[in-house]
Chains A and B, each alone.
Chain A
Amino acid sequence: MATTATPVAVPGTDTTRPPSPKAGFNLGRAFAWLFMILVILVSLFPFYWMLRTALSSNNALYAGSDSLLPVQTSGGGFARVFGLQTGQEAIDAGGAGQPISFWHYLANSVIVSTLITAGQVFFSAMAAYAFARLQWRHREKVFAFFLAGLMIPAIFTLLPNFVLIKELGLVDTLLGIALPTMLMTPFAVFFLRQFFLGISREVEEAALVEGASKVRVFFRLILPMSTAPLATLSILTYITAWNEYFWPLMVSYTDRSRVLTVALGVFKSQTPQTGPDWSGLMAATLVAALPMLILFFFFAKRIVNSIGFSGIK
């Protein structure tokens, strides 16, 4: 290690050094910033383009394909997506004319994602507590068994799970979409167990000595002390559930259980092949994406900092 050889080992210098450690490296830094700006532009441009197209009229998109601003600004795309345009109006504006109401799909997505998040986080927390703090035989073996579940690619279980959901009579229901991930994921159990293991035992022991039951300790002590990891896990689970496509595509057949991702696919396949309803499609994608972008706006710091290896190692 070279720390000892550092000539500027004055205690203060290490911490109070917000500007770049090497100011004489300008050309390289300029290129690096150029690269980063390009990355930022590429990351964000498609979002702007969704908005720009959603606010344009289909009929004007061809002539106005060079315009960076909306062409013939109109809220027609959004009106179609929320079923506010009648059939003929929609066809005239370049839409498919089928009745479509994204309010309904939005509600379905909210219900499914909420069911999955609430169930998965709560039940995983209970299991994680049992693995971290309760004393019982075969605990480590059962936990290793759970961990082995991390090795199974989710995609392999989908087909047989569909057969099961069908046997349970839950095809085309919101519960059928939520159920397989509502009770646990190995990752959630593992993630929370890691955190529970780190909680100091002293407070817990004190409560137990005072006569509190372990159930009470879990609800009144462990859960309140774990709001940060529980919140992080909940947000990540919600986003994952919201964006899921393959599984809901299998389970839902009709509007009754269609979530936003599946509805987007249906909307796309219904749009006229010769001249797709781009304005309506982009309005629909925006409706599907916006809730997660808003969520991200409020919890960006938590989400960004949660990505790392603390949970996997």
Chain B
Amino acid sequence: MAISTTTPTTPASATTGPPRAKRRDDTRLAMLFIAPALIGFLVFMVWPTLRGIYLSFTKFNLLTPAEFNGLDNYVRMVQDPVFWNALRVTVLYVVINIGLQTVLALAIAVMMQRLTKRTWLRGVILTPYLVSNVVAALVFLWILDYQLGVGNRVLELIGVDRIAFLADSAWVIPTVAVINVWRHVGYTALLIFAGLQTIPESMYEAGRIDGASEFAMFRRITVPLLRPILALVLIITVVGSFQVFDTVAVTTRGGPVDSSRVLQYYIYDMAFGRFQFGYASAMSVALLVVLVVITFVQYRLTRAESSDLA
């Protein structure tokens, strides 16, 4: 960066220096200190972001140089039924995943708050989060196996027909959504739990004195005061949920047919299965736009910046 050359101080004022060390300008040292992080940031975050946008306007197969082809990829995308299906499947996944996860996490957090704040309980709740999506996917692939899975044995015992959870086009997305709820609900619950700690206990005491029921207090105290934190949690989890890939890649590979071909899996398949990096990049840009818009809209809708506690 050019900043170091415009240092106003004299050259002699390097870092190791006279005993009087209270200099107001550390530009050189600062440049040295942020250099690795800045290089990492520019090379592996800023540059790929710009390049990803550029590649979306090209025809690129990774072996020959990228050829500019204008809006071709975007025209193709708009006309590609598989893309629209992938978007639909992804949105369906996000709705089920986030809906279920948020309700469950809120319930767990509130109950932990009322029952016990012991660390061991929070530890147990968080345990599934410690394993990778791949591990979670494989365990549930086995538990939900049509023939041998213990999940289907349980269904049989209570008199319900076996379900081909990951092989049935109607069940596959809800199943993937639930698997990921299993892994992430504890983390989300602990985030909400942390938010609950910001609500003064005196509010609940006042509520009790007024004879309010637990449910009334939940509705009148917890929910309104937790709103800004819930909004933040929703933004984080929704953005994460849209990027679903691992579970699908390990269990169904997009099938049966295209019923679990989520956007990110389609992008991966397009890039590494068919070497159409240009088109894959265009779809990545579409996903990026969707995420930015959702973040923005959600932020405005839930008024994340304002709290009733003020």
A245 near B133 with CB under 8 A, answer yes
A33, A136, A260, A278: the one within 8 Å of B142 (CB): A278
B123 near A296 with CB under 8 A, answer yes
B115 near A33 with CB under 8 A, answer yes
A213 / chain B contacts, CB cutoff of 8 Å:
15-17, 21
Closest CB in chain B relative to A148 CB, distance in Å: 9
B249 near A249 with CB under 8 A, answer yes
A138 / chain B contacts, CB cutoff of 8 Å:
3
A135 near B26 with CB under 8 A, answer yes
Q: Of B85-93, B164-172, B183-191, which binds chain A? A: B183-191
B139 near A285 with CB under 8 A, answer yes
Main secondary structure of the interface of B (DSSP, over half): helix
A183 near B39 with CB under 8 A, answer yes
Closest CB in chain B relative to A30 CB, distance in Å: 11
Closest CB in chain A relative to B283 CB, distance in Å: 10
In the assembled complex, B246 has its CB within 8 A of some CB on chain A: yes
A123 / chain B contacts, CB cutoff of 8 Å:
36-37, 40
Give the docked Cα–Cα distance between A45 and B84 (Å): 37
B16 / chain A contacts, CB cutoff of 8 Å:
213
Known contacts A153-B288, A213-B21; is A184 also within 8 Å of B130 by CB? no
Number of residues of chain B lying within 8 A (CB) of chain A = 110
A29 / chain B contacts, CB cutoff of 8 Å:
114-115
Contact with A along B117-140 (1 / 0, CB 8 A): 001111111111011111110111
A160 near B281 with CB under 8 A, answer yes
Contact with B along A134-177 (1 / 0, CB 8 A): 11111100100010010111111101111110100000000000
A184 near B24 with CB under 8 A, answer no
In the assembled complex, A130 has its CB within 8 A of some CB on chain B: yes
Contact with A along B127-158 (1 / 0, CB 8 A): 11011111110111111010110100100000
A153 near B239 with CB under 8 A, answer yes
In the assembled complex, A104 has its CB within 8 A of some CB on chain B: no
B45, B145, B182: the one within 8 Å of A152 (CB): B45
Question: Taking CB as reference atom, which chain B residue is nearest A290?
Answer: B131
A161 near B48 with CB under 8 A, answer yes
Contact with B along A178-205 (1 / 0, CB 8 A): 0111111010010000000000000001
B115 near A159 with CB under 8 A, answer no
Give the docked Cα–Cα distance between A296 and B267 (Å): 34
In the assembled complex, A126 has its CB within 8 A of some CB on chain B: yes
B11 / chain A contacts, CB cutoff of 8 Å:
none
A43 / chain B contacts, CB cutoff of 8 Å:
124-125, 127-128, 182, 186
B132 near A159 with CB under 8 A, answer no
Question: Taking CB as reference atom, which chain A residue is nearest B188?
Answer: A307
B48, B135, B203, B205: the one within 8 Å of A164 (CB): B48
In the assembled complex, A223 has its CB within 8 A of some CB on chain B: no
In the assembled complex, B95 has its CB within 8 A of some CB on chain A: no
In the assembled complex, B41 has its CB within 8 A of some CB on chain A: yes
Contact with B along A24-60 (1 / 0, CB 8 A): 0100110011011001101110110110010000000
Known contacts A43-B125, A130-B34, A309-B232; is A182 also within 8 Å of B287 by CB? no
In the assembled complex, B284 has its CB within 8 A of some CB on chain A: yes
Give the docked Cα–Cα distance between A310 and B200 (Å): 17
Instruction: List residues 13-32 of chain B with CB under 8 A from any CB of chain A.
Output: 15-17, 19, 21-27, 29-31
Instruction: List residues 199-237 of chain A with CB under 8 A from any CB of chain B.
Output: 205, 208-209, 211-215, 218
- In the complex, which of the residues A268, A288, A289 has the most CB atoms of chain B within 10 Å of its own CB atom? A289
- In the complex, which of the residues B19, B40, B128 has the most CB atoms of chain A within 10 Å of its own CB atom? B40
Q: Of A77-85, A95-103, A297-305, which binds chain B? A: A297-305
Q: Name 25 interchain pairs, CB-CB below 8 A, sorted by A.
A: A2-B203, A21-B204, A25-B214, A43-B124, A44-B127, A49-B139, A49-B143, A127-B37, A152-B49, A156-B49, A159-B280, A160-B281, A164-B44, A214-B26, A243-B131, A243-B132, A245-B249, A264-B135, A264-B250, A265-B134, A265-B249, A288-B131, A288-B135, A296-B127, A308-B197
Residues of B within 8 A of A (CB): 3, 6, 15-17, 19, 21-27, 29-31, 33-34, 36-41, 43-49, 51-52, 55, 62, 107-108, 111-112, 114-115, 119-128, 130-136, 138-143, 145, 147-148, 150, 153, 182, 186-187, 190-191, 194-195, 197, 200, 202-206, 208-209, 214, 229, 232, 239, 242-243, 245-246, 249-250, 264, 267-268, 271-272, 277, 280-281, 284-285, 287-288, 291-292, 295
Further 6 A-B residue pairs, CB within 8 A, beyond A149-B46, A156-B285, A278-B145: A36-B115, A65-B150, A138-B3, A155-B284, A162-B271, A163-B277
